[in-house]
Structure 1
Amino acid sequence: MATHLDLEEQEQLDQLKHFWSKYGNLITLTLVLALGGVAAWNGWQYWQYRGAEQATVLLDELERAAQAGDSERVVRVTADLQAQHGRTLQAAQASLLAARTLHDAQKADDARGALQWVVDKGSDDAYQAIARVRLAGLLMDQKAYDEALKVLDAKLPAAMAPLAADRRGDILLAQGQRDGAKAAYLAAYRDMDADAGYRRLVEAKLAALGVVVGEDAATKEKTP
């Protein structure tokens, strides 16, 4: 009986050895890859957390520099954020803040560069859209009208479309294209929420062009 059990155990052992010799390397490799994947995921998560944390510290520093009106520090910190943490939301937020601060400091070219960075390299569609609208306005101020209109030609999130249309109307009006400006303002007006405060401003722009806009968005030209 004992011999029978010994033979059966030996047979099972031989089968296990055969199985391991055939599939052992594959099993080991699979385990290594699985464990490596877990380690890589944990490492990536930690890196993301650390990156966001460091980006927040730099953003706080930038906000202090902006409040102090220290444009040189604003440029330096923004460049650090873009270079070191360019894929974070903080980098886009910092660039938008830097653009506004630099514009107020009469540094239009630096402001333009900050906005262009968000357009080209920002990781968030909403921030990119905001940057496009602001960049178009800055280019309009510089009388670079065709370039400003080109900036607005990208597909934008629905929430930003009315503001982009309003900015397009401003640019067309600055070019003397009244009919195009009217069409752009009407598109902005119709796409804005009825209770949006900015809608009143668009309505005033339309009125200045002789267009009366009713609550139902019906329009008519004022007669001379």
Structure 2
Amino acid sequence: MAAFDLEEQEQISQIKGWWEQYGKLVTGVAVAAALASVGWQGWTWYKGKQTLEASALYDQLQTAAAEHNAQKAREVAGALIDKYGATAYADLAALLSAKVQVDAGDLKNARVPLSWAATKANDPALRDIARLRLATVMFDEKAYDEALAQLQAPVDDSLTARFADLKGDVLVAQGKKDDARAAYKSVIASLETATKAEAVTLREIVQAKLDAVGGAQ
């Protein structure tokens, strides 16, 4: 029994020594793990709450769009972007609000959400779409240099032809036919083997534009 007690005491001493050396580290790791778990659960709850609230506002925006209520669309989209800019709903709200403004003939207010989405949207492809639409608005306003600044090569390859097409239109408006021809030719080349109906239609339209500015010159 005494031998057992001695062996037990030695084990306790070893444990005590180990704990004195590493106890603070173990406690720190355990506390950090607990805090991380609580923090993650809190963050997940917060993100879910944000998404639900953003979704509710986006529903309001869709209603305003269906009613062609440009002012309401601006207000709701502005609130959504301001409060929930990190959600996908903010990206979609910017594009939808801009469309409502364009349909209402208000190009100035269409610029605002598109400018935000072109630089701050969460999805890179959506940023490209916003840049394309912003450039279209600027083209309609005859702000040609500003439009061209938006038409740098897109990140999403699927939008390359549309960017080049609009760039050609802007260059024609500026009287730069040689540069416009180059832009249109790049569209034709990129869509040469396209089979989708939309791409084929765009190629035919751009070919007509190319012919109008001198074709293969």
> Shorter-chain TM-score category?
over 0.9
Which whole-Å CA distance do the structure 2 matches of 1:79 and 1:162 have between them?
A: 31
- One-letter amino acid matched to 2:94: S
Moved more, 87-96 or 200-209: 200-209
Counterpart for residue 202 of structure 1: 206
What count of residue pairs does the alignment treat as equivalent? 212
Which whole-Å CA distance do the structure 2 matches of 1:98 and 1:66 have between them?
A: 7
Change (3 A) 1:84 1:154: farther
- One-letter amino acid matched to 2:143: A
Counterpart for residue 118 of structure 2: 119
Which whole-Å CA distance do the structure 2 matches of 1:90 and 1:83 have between them?
A: 12
The offset of 1:173, in angstroms, is: 0.6
The reply on whether 1:7 has 2:11 as its aligned counterpart is no
- One-letter amino acid matched to 2:51: A
Q: TM-score, normalised by structure 1?
A: 0.89
Cα deviation code 1:120-155 (max 9, x no counterpart): 211111111011111111111111111111111254
8 Å contact from structure 2 (residues 77, 93) kept in 1: yes
Q: 3-state DSSP class of the match of 2:89?
A: helix
The offset of 1:160, in angstroms, is: 1.3
Moved more, 128-137 or 199-208: 199-208
Counterpart for residue 72 of structure 1: 71
Moved more, 45-54 or 162-171: 45-54
Percent identity for Structure 1 against Structure 2:
38
- One-letter amino acid matched to 2:23: G
8 Å contact from structure 2 (residues 135, 150) kept in 1: yes
Counterpart for residue 50 of structure 2: 51
- One-letter amino acid matched to 1:88: T
The reply on whether 1:133 has 2:137 as its aligned counterpart is no
8 Å contact from structure 2 (residues 154, 163) kept in 1: no
Cα deviation code 1:4-43 (max 9, x no counterpart): 1110001101111111122111101101111211222222
The reply on whether 1:177 has 2:176 as its aligned counterpart is yes
Q: TM-score, normalised by structure 2?
A: 0.92
For structure 1, list consecutive stretches of 5 or more residues without a partner in the other structure.
Answer: 212-219
- One-letter amino acid matched to 1:131: A
RMSD: 1.5
The offset of 1:62, in angstroms, is: 0.4
8 Å contact from structure 2 (residues 171, 177) kept in 1: yes
Which whole-Å CA distance do the structure 2 matches of 1:145 and 1:119 have between them?
A: 17
- One-letter amino acid matched to 2:175: G
**Structure 1 segments (4+ residues) deviating >6 Å:** none
Cα deviation code 1:165-191 (max 9, x no counterpart): 111001001111111111111112222
For structure 2, list consecutive stretches of 5 or more residues without a partner in the other structure.
Answer: none
Change (3 A) 1:49 1:154: farther
The offset of 1:103, in angstroms, is: 1.2
